[in-house]
Structure 1
Amino acid sequence: MGRDYFLDKDIIIGKDGNIYVVYSNINPFGYVYAYLKYIYTGKGIWKGYERALKYYGVHNLLKVNQEFVYEPCYNVSFPIIYESNVLKHLRPEDKIKEVIKSPKNILENIALEIYDKIGVRNIGITGSLLAGISHSSSDIDFVIYGIKDGLDFLNSFNGFERDEDWILETSKNYGISIEDAKELYDLRVRGIYKGVKYSFLFVYPYPLKYCDKVCKNVGEGEIVADISDNTYSIFYPSIVVLDNISLLKGEITPKTLTSYEGIYSMLLFKSKRIHARGMLMECNNGESILIIGDRNVKGYVRRLL
């Protein structure tokens, strides 16, 4: 029996026939934080499915036509699917077991080759392979669970071939320079193996408490700061602890930075000092946060050291 709770990067098949991706380990009562990724039209290359979310990023997610729920604890609306509308709950760790036991196509054989090379066992496969709609040119999206396995992987794996397309697409999608996009790229987590694109994503392996703190927007903030703890930067959302902070703009000085833009994860992991802009938030536990990915402030993170 698989776990009965939802984790980031799980996939949901809705009763509407559409495919959703879970993006949080928080499990509210009655619904799941998940975004709509594929809609069945009969015309798409993913076995008749087409992408509802064509490009990643919070600014694109807001354009997707799905249910959003306002969360007063976070003062923002999130895309969700009600549990009553869940037909199937697909888990990445179950898919890797299937592939190891009996790979069914060339893509799964390549996934098995990569799996054998990296030496990580707390791992799964998500994306179109998990959803069962992959085609011959699909990417392979791996999920690595836990801090230890994630850090061991990053310290031992050097990657394969460079994916230049990702740099160009990220530059165009986020409206940033090619040089800034190159700073975000990391061959260990995104590349090409035998002509197939791969990615490695990291998931904290346990559910988190719903509404553990209440936060409110304070306004736009801009900082230069050191990163004193990057342990949770590899997960989604990316969280780092700040030190030696210079407040360039804003009413409060944040002690942590949280990024809901996944492209900044590896940059935060590798950086010692950053320049960042985002939404300042103050929470009832006394915590002050700079949020990257707020809909009202187009934030960014740039590496200084």
Structure 2
Amino acid sequence: MGRDYFLDKDIVVDKERNIYLVFSNVNPYGYIYAMIKYVYTGKGLWKGYERVLKYYGVNNMLKLSQEFLMEPCYGVTFPVLRLSNVSKHLKPEEKALELIKHTSGSKHEISFLELYTALGVRQLGITGSFLAGINHENSDLDIVIYGCEDALYVMNNFEGFEEDRDWIVETSRNYGLTLDFSKQLYDKRTRGAIKGIKFSILFVDPRPERPCKEVCKRKGEITITAEIEKGSCDVLFYPSKVILHNVNVVSGEVGLKPEILVSYEGIYSTLLFKSRKIEAKGMLVECEKPIIVVGDRDVPGYIRRIL
């Protein structure tokens, strides 16, 4: 891509050798939205690094020991890394191209090439410990698919490989969900294993965004039912976004119906992709158009499929 801006799923390294995961396409002035994931102690499994962000999710992100900045347009704080402290900017698509052109023949690289062939798309990358260069023998393969066209191609044509049953148990424990509900969130196309090596398929919109496009005000907890467009690529990107139709307010402020759902919990993306009608609990936020946010720090919420 030859880009000089930051995208979701990029990796950045600070001047103290700490490794961060970028989680937004928004490029503010002077800093980036990024979560610290690994710190170097000399004792960690990842070539001397230890993982401090053990599990994803908003609640785990809030426990991180790093700088948070208040964003006045949204009224909440986000974890950030200042550009003046960035030592390296690592891009998933560049690492994938490197592995495609030059492979050492390791089991992980062979599995990556098999995934690359099975996925059938060109706009892809590899992130996580492989991009950071600290992978170990049991590391996962975190594959990034760029753009709506390729995202839909993968979801409509890729059948997956072996199931990753551990994901269901880990998601249940991490988010406090029942095992049955976690099974409903699991999708073999985006979480699985190939020859014993676990992999994830992640989707990224390759377009950068400008900061503070609108000013929003948090209003309070709300639960709704609504119809949505099935098979939208926008729910696969982070955060998931989908337009709501025929909204019914189950509880909360009835005078302001959300028109858009935004989910900061990635576990719901494939459920939204497969659904036509949902129930959702979250934070009602008044922006240019009212939205319901799932994954708010005060109202974590949930999404359930009705149809």
- Indicate whether the TM-score tops 0.5: yes
Q: List structure 1 segments (4+ residues) > 2 angstroms apart after TM superposition.
A: 228-231
- Looking at structure 1, the residues matched to 79 and 70 of structure 2 have their Cα atoms a distance apart, in angstroms, of 9
1:258 alignment partner in structure 2: 262
Three-state SS of the structure 2 residue aligned to 1:232 is helix
The residue identity in structure 2 corresponding to 1:273 is K
**Residue of structure 2 equivalent to 1:219:** 220
* CA shift digits 1:286-305 (9 cap, x unpaired): x0000011101121001111
Which aligned pairs between 1:221-236 and structure 2 lie closer than 5 A? 221-228=222-229, 230-236=232-238
* Alpha-carbon offset, residue 35 of structure 1: 0.3
SS in 2 for 1:165: helix
Distance, in Å, in 1 between the alignment partners of 2:119 and 2:59 is 34
Name the counterpart of 1:240.
242
Alignment partner of 1:6 is 2:20: no
Q: Deviations over 1:127-147 (max 9, x none)?
A: 100000000100000000000
State the partner residue of 1:93.
93
Letter in 2 for 1:202: F
- Post-superposition Cα deviations, 1:41-91, rounded to whole Å, max 9, x if no partner, equal 111110011111111110011001000000011111000000000000000
The CA distance in 2 between the partners of 1:139 and 1:218, in whole Å, is 40
TM-score normalized by the length of structure 1: 0.98
Aligned identity (percent) is 57
Q: Which amino acid aligns with 1:218?
A: K
Cα separation, 2, equivalents of 1:189 and 1:231: 14
Query: How far 1:110 moved relative to its partner?
Result: 1.4
How many residue pairs are counted as aligned between the two chains? 303
Task: Give the AA of the match of 1:127.
Answer: G
Residues in 2 aligned to 1:73 and 1:269: alpha-carbon distance in whole angstroms: 29
After superposition, where does 1:1-305 map in structure 2 within 5 Å? Answer: 2-104=2-104, 105-228=106-229, 230-251=232-253, 252-283=256-287, 285=288, 287-305=289-307
Q: Give the aligned residue type for 1:169.
A: E
Deviation (angstroms), 1:30: 0.3
Q: CA RMSD in A?
A: 1.0
* Secondary structure at 1:151 match in 2: helix
- Contact in 2 for aligned 1:277/1:292 (Cα 8 Å): yes
- The 8 Å contact of residues 231 and 240 in structure 1, kept in 2 or not, is answered as no
Deviation at 1:231, TM superposition (A): 3.3
| Aligned-partner Cα distance in 2 for 1:199–1:228 | 24
User: Structure 1 unaligned runs (5+)?
Assistant: none
Aligned-partner residue type, residue 244 of structure 1: N
**Alignment deviations for residues 10-38 of structure 1 (CA, whole Å, 9 cap, x no partner):** 00011111000000000000000000000
